Amino acid sequence: MQAAPPAPVTTARAFSALPSTLAVRPPSLTGALRALEGLLLRGGQRTARRNAWTAVLEDRRRARARREVQSLLEAAAAPGPQAT
């Protein structure tokens, strides 16, 4: 007696065997923007833009620190009772 030939694997059955973690999710807005940036800008331009943005954030951080120190110096120089 011969064994029956194996049943062909259907597309639906093959995909149903995949774990749900492999499901394709639509790209997030951030991912889509990064992909678009990658298409429009070449490596050097992308690096320059990221470096410029990092410099902007660093300037903002330094300005915030400078304002805090300035307010502390003004409070220390002002006459009257000081909070502890």
Is the dihedral angle over the CA atoms 19, 25, 31, 35 positive or is it negative? positive
Residue 14 tokens, joined:
């093959």
The overall pTM is greater than 0.75: no
CA 8 to chain centre: 44
How does the average pLDDT of the chain come out, rounded?
79
Give the residue, 44 or 19, on which the prediction is more confident: 44
**pLDDT score for 57:** 97
Residue 73 tokens, joined:
């110096």
pLDDT-derived band at 20, boundaries 50, 70, 90: low
**pLDDT score for 27:** 72
